[in-house]
Amino acid sequence: MPRTVLIVDDDPGFRTVARALLETDGDFAATEAGSAAEAVVAVVREQPDAVLLDIGLSGRDGFEDGFAVCRALHGVAPTTAVVLCSAREAELYGERIARSPAVGFLAKEQLSAAALTRLVALGGR
């Protein structure tokens, strides 16, 4: 049975590509959210195994940035593994990734079902 993942990104093109990448081999069944508010509702409703969260969701829905969204998602579903992603490299975010409740980070260009599976395993689910 595939794990469930919620893809949270304001770019519908990225969500489509990410969904195809993650669902192709059958490891994941994906749903999508285009905003932080949609993500919180979806996580509460669906209780996915994982969330792939774009760090760039800033200034929307009352959240300061993607890190604030990550904290909110962890607050409503602490057993859901949140994986941060960005088109930028992790080094640009300094210690913020390590201090977040996320189980890890993936650069968007490195996204694959195998990479996400490894990080979700770190979340203990």
Structure tokens at 45: 């409703």
- In order along its 125 residues, the chain shows pLDDT tens digits of 679 999 999 999 999 999 999 999 788 999 999 999 999 999 999 999 999 999 988 566 667 788 999 999 999 999 999 999 999 888 888 899 999 999 999 999 999 999 999 998 876 44
Q: Residue 71 is part of a domain; what is its CATH number?
A: 3.40.50.2300
Give the pLDDT confidence score for residue 102 in this predicted structure.
95
pTM beyond 0.85: the answer is yes
Domain boundaries, position 66 = 3-111
Structure tokens at 112: 């694959």
Give the pLDDT confidence score for residue 125 in this predicted structure.
41
Q: Is residue 125 part of a domain?
A: no
34 touches 56 (CB < 8 A) = no
Q: Which of 70, 58, 65 is nearest to 102 (CA)?
A: 70
Q: Is residue 57 part of a domain?
A: yes
Q: Is residue 117 part of a domain?
A: no
Q: Is residue 42 part of a domain?
A: yes
The sign of the torsion formed by the CA atoms of 49, 50, 51, 52 equals negative
Biggest CA pair distance of the chain? 36
113-122 and 12-23 helices, crossing angle to 10°: 80
The total number of structural domains that make up the chain: 1
